[in-house]
Structure 1
Amino acid sequence: MKRLLVFVCFLIGVPAFAATPQQKQRARPCQDQEAQRSVWPQGTLLWGTGRTAVEKEMSSVLVSVDLDKVRLRGGTRLKELRIEEGRLVAPSRARNKLVGSVFQGTASDGQRVEVALCAAEPSARNPSMVWYRIELWNKQSAAWENPCVATSRVPSPRALVVQGVWDETGARQEAPGRFTFACENGAIAKCISWGYAPWAKKDGHSLAELHQACTRMARADYCGDGRSHTRQDNPIDMYDDLAVLTQTTEPSRGWQPERASFEAAWTPEGAWCLARTREGQALETILAQCPGRFEPGANDLGDGDRCTVRRKEGLARRALLRNRSYGKDE
């Protein structure tokens, strides 16, 4: 059994990726990258890449990538590329031989973008998992840039390969021939790092739905519509039905259990029930944001976790994940 205390620290960068006429001379991808990019604490990230529009929280310069439109360095088309447990695999081709490949991707506004694979690095904690360094062609600056938003903790973020795609409501969908480059500071990648790899199993049970529930929990997406209700550097403690992670009960430098209280239980579609909100908004505010979804009603989940509003009958799926947090004023 594992315990994991998480400081939710998502920062948003706003690089400019507007389309302009392409210049005749193009720089080569995968040259030296700047270690730090400008970032601003403006909310939470799902994909972990910069926004296409400043005013839209759920927008991204890179939402999905095509698996069958890949060209190797030199222009040769790469065939039969597939994904195995979060790794890009090509028959008879070593992992490092994929470096320099250029993929075709799509931004949230539907614009096509080019994505270069610059490095493949096995995870130090789990060598079977691979981190990729990627760059995106920015037509405005006519340069290859790391699209992953940096933070002071992770100044040069990488990305994980994840099967499927996420839409602007935060919902995951199977999409044959497409996948997600999930950047290190986004919820998709963070939930994998915390132990919920969607390709993994625990006691014969797939962790795919737990991973999706985690992405909702990390962003405090109560309504399951992509809207986040959290803030920077808010410590959270999560635990689940399969005991991939268990509740943290011992105090440490970064966590004081006596200060924390139960916040919510989670499904892949958002909160199953709530005791309170992470930022201190009234529960009535959440009920108004997603009318018809919740109703007043106490639910005792055990271990001191008690809800005050819950999903309406007939709409609820079984909660897979729960969390505790300090709350805004604690």
Structure 2
Amino acid sequence: MSQSASLPDIYFTDIDVRLNEGKWESLCSDGAGAPTSAIVVPGYFDLATADWRPGEQGELAFACRGTAAGKCLEWGYRMWAKHGGVSLADHYRACTRMVRADYCGTNVPHTENGTPIDISDGLSPAILAPETDWQIEAKWGPHGAVCLNQPRKLEHTRAAVVAECEAAGRGKLPKCVDDDPGEHGGLLVSQAEPS
């Protein structure tokens, strides 16, 4: 077990599992299939919705490094923490939706591994601030995008994503107008160069 240098309340651990008398293998692997560590978190992940839940009976879950669940923790959106007196649980949920481009909050991703995004929040002080002048892609709440401009992957048109969200009962996604992360109730902002 090792401790994060920048966030001392995060610990990385290697976990091996063996299924059906097979060989021991790492529970976590990166995008290339190489073993990686996990972060133990309170609560559990709902497999149907990919949403984190706090749990009620001391449940523990594993967030693998390099996944949306792990990246959001390492970026500072730890669901058990507070920042400036604000709980980060909903920021964590918004972050995992954002990383996966799960615009409608239906556990349907609209991106590919390795697609760069620039992330910022409206916290005071901010955990992450914009580092590029890329256009605003979307603003995010715990249940998906709260407004949307051009999706980060050009194969997904704004019109198609808006229709998908309407069909899922999310209502119509407005366009994002200003730089305020809180527009339409957003917690995080993603900026991207559509590709």
How would you bin the TM-score normalised by the shorter chain?
0.7 to 0.9
Find the counterpart in structure 1 of residue 67 from structure 2: 186
| CA-CA distance at 1:286 after TM superposition | 1.3
| 2:28 aligned to which of 142, 145, 148 | 148
Q: Which runs of 4+ in 1 moved over 6 A?
A: none
Distance, in Å, in 2 between the alignment partners of 1:297 and 1:149 is 37
Using the alignment, how far apart are the partners of 2:8 and 2:2 within structure 1? 9
In the TM superposition, 1:107-186 aligns within 5 A as 120-139=1-20, 142-151=22-31, 155-167=34-46, 168-175=48-55, 176-186=57-67
Counterpart-to-counterpart distance in 1, 2:6 and 2:176: 38
* Contact persistence 1:148–1:185 (CA under 8 A): no
Whether the aligned pair in 2 keeps the contact of 1:234 and 1:326 (CA below 8 Å) is no
2:161 is the alignment partner of 1:286: yes
Q: Deviation of residue 222 (structure 1)?
A: 0.3
Equivalent position to 2:189, from 309, 318, 322: 322
> 2:121, 2:5 → 1: CA distance?
25
Question: Displacement, 1:293?
Answer: 2.0
Structure 1 residues 288, 124: CA separation in 2 closer, same or farther (over 3 Å shift)? same
Aligned AA for 1:247?
P
1:273 equivalent in alignment to 2:147: yes
Q: Which residues of 2 match residues 230-269 of structure 1 at below 5 A?
A: 230-242=111-123, 243-249=126-132, 257=133, 260-269=134-143
SS in 2 for 1:300: coil
Q: CA deviation at 1:174?
A: 2.6
Unaligned runs of 5+ in 2: none
Task: Give how far 1:297 is off.
Answer: 4.3
* CA displacement at 1:148 relative to structure 2: 0.7
TM-superposed CA distance for 1:214, in Å, is 0.3
Q: Which 5+ residue runs of structure 1 have no aligned equivalent?
A: 1-119, 250-256, 308-315
The SS at the match of 1:294 is coil
Number of aligned residue pairs: 187
Match of 2:108 among 213, 216, 227: 227
Q: CA deviation at 1:161?
A: 0.9
**Displacement of 1:296:** 6.1
Provide TM-score, normalisation by structure 1: 0.53
Identify if the C-alpha distance between structure 1 residues 192 and 282 changes in structure 2 by more than 3 Å, giving closer, same or farther.
Answer: same
Q: For 2:153, what is the secondary structure of its paired residue?
A: coil
Q: Scaled by the length of structure 2, what TM-score is found?
A: 0.86
- Give the structure with the higher percent strand: 1
The worse-fitting range, judged by mean Cα deviation, of 168-177 and 199-208 is: 168-177
